[in-house]
Amino acid sequence: MDVNTGDTAWLLISAALVMLMTPALGFFYGGLVGKKNVLSTLTHSFFILCLISVQWVLWGYSLAFSPDTGAGLIGGLGWIALKGVGFAPNPDYAATVPHQAFMAFQMMFAVITPALITGAFAERVSFKAYVIFALLWSTLVYDPIAHWVWGTGGWLHALGALDFAGGTVVHISSGVSALVAAILIGRRLKTSEPHDATMTILGASLLWFGWFGFNAGSALTAGGLATSAFVVTNTAAAMAGLTWLTVSWIHRGRPSVLGMAAGAVAGLVAITPASGFVDVSGSIIIGLGAGVLCYLGMQLRPRLKVDDALDVWAVHGIGGTWGAIATGLFATVAINSAGADGLFFGNPRQLLTQAIAVGATWLYAAVVTVVIVKVIDVTIGMRVREHEESLGLDASQHGEIAYQLD
């Protein structure tokens, strides 16, 4: 099998684009927290870039993508430390690029997914607990779900579930886990207002930029499918940003700037699973749905009294679920012959398959996250002490502060 240089260049560039998304997420979240927790919030993202980059090459990639161990639930250990993952293409995953390029691309997905969760427990979790949580969660939640959906022999893959770039694997898994973690860890002593909206807008813009690698890169080739994914990704993000802004205008009387940024991210989340299967009209409807549903989800937070500090569940849990279901509605083989038609194109069965994938991901992510958080809580404790939380995590956990204003 020959390596195609164009495809390889596109995939490596896409991997770099997705890499940028994790520090971008740090800026997105960093602007939303109070000014004594900025560095710790940025660190959550930057640290995980380092941590999972090592975990992935040592054992994460093997668990997620090496040949199935028999039940469709997890890969084996045959590829630990990248043994057998070389420069020849692996036709099971990407027939025209070096296997290691595919591995590197997937690594960046594994990096950003646990980073998404950190918005739920911002401003109150100890760094030590966070380190253990991230490592356990990536190994016990992300790697198995990635195998189910994308791994050769994975059970959801075999069932025919469509997830082009990670609606279930990345967004539902992190969004649901965020909700569970926020419930178990409890509320902050005191909530804070966004300390720097410009930082959040910058983060959202960089996320949008990186998302072209996330979705269009998932075509794994540089051609028509990547182009289609690029166009629908941009369209859905734009439509969701416009929708969120408008809904907030109707609801609150003024168009919210931070809302528009959150809406664009919600649109990017929702189009992710569908980006290789839907046309541009489908992407507009998906963006519209994301803007409305995620906004409504965010309104539930104060009513449920769950302190999901930066609305990870509303944006990623609801957005990812809507996107996965919408894939079952709007997918068409006219866009991707390797996909399937959805309900609107005469195939109601695909909607059922998507619902099964959504339900399984919700259930598994929730249950395993409960176990992980509980185990950490009774051993080293998830939260910082009260005086440390009052002081702020930048000073209490890292001995540094973000701004010297005097």
Q: Should residue 254 be labelled a site residue for other proteins when binding is judged by CB under 8 A?
A: yes
Q: Which of 184, 197, 288, 356 binds other proteins (CB under 8 A)?
A: 288
Question: Residue 355 CB, nearest distance to other proteins (Å)?
Answer: 20
Q: Should residue 325 be labelled a site residue for other proteins when binding is judged by CB under 8 A?
A: no
Question: Residue 346 CB, nearest distance to other proteins (Å)?
Answer: 13
Supply the Cα-derived Rg of the chain in whole angstroms: 20
Q: SS3 of 68, please?
A: strand
Dihedral (CA of 25, 27, 31, 37) sign: positive
- Report the interhelical angle of 319-330 vs 348-379 (nearest 10°): 160
- Read off the amino acid at residue 373: V
Residue list 200-239, contact with other proteins (CB under 8 A) = 239
Match 């030590």 to its residue by tokens. Answer: 128
Binding characters for other proteins, 267-286, by CB under 8 A (x = yes): ------------xxxx-xx-
Question: Residue 264 CB, nearest distance to other proteins (Å)?
Answer: 14
In the bound state with other proteins, the residue whose beta carbon lies nearer, of 74 and 331, is: 331
In the bound state with other proteins, the residue whose beta carbon lies nearer, of 243 and 350, is: 243
In the bound state with other proteins, the residue whose beta carbon lies nearer, of 149 and 242, is: 242
In the bound state with other proteins, the residue whose beta carbon lies nearer, of 187 and 252, is: 252
Residues with Cβ within 8 Å of 40's Cβ and at least 6 positions away in sequence, in order, are 122, 123, 127, 392, 393, 394, 397, 398
Match 């979790």 to its residue by tokens. Answer: 125
Q: Which of 109, 330, 362, 364 binds other proteins (CB under 8 A)?
A: 330
In the bound state with other proteins, the residue whose beta carbon lies nearer, of 253 and 399, is: 253
**Euclidean distance between CA atoms 162 and 317, whole angstroms:** 17
Question: Residue 285 CB, nearest distance to other proteins (Å)?
Answer: 6
User: Which of 215, 222, 338, 331 is CA-nearest to residue 281?
Assistant: 331
CB burial readout 114-146, b (16+ within 10 A) else e: bbbbbbbbbbbbbeebbebbbbbbbbbbbbbbb
In the bound state with other proteins, the residue whose beta carbon lies nearer, of 161 and 284, is: 284
Helices (H), 74-126: 99-117
Determine how many CB atoms are found less than 10 A away from the CB of residue 87: 11
In the bound state with other proteins, the residue whose beta carbon lies nearer, of 197 and 395, is: 197
In the bound state with other proteins, the residue whose beta carbon lies nearer, of 26 and 287, is: 287
Question: Residue 248 CB, nearest distance to other proteins (Å)?
Answer: 11
Question: Residue 247 CB, nearest distance to other proteins (Å)?
Answer: 9
Determine how many CB atoms are found less than 10 A away from the CB of residue 250: 10
Q: Should residue 253 be labelled a site residue for other proteins when binding is judged by CB under 8 A?
A: yes
Residue list 233-252, contact with other proteins (CB under 8 A) = 239, 242-243, 246, 249-250, 252
Residues that bind other proteins (CB under 8 A): 239, 242-243, 246, 249-250, 252-254, 279-282, 284-285, 288, 330, 344
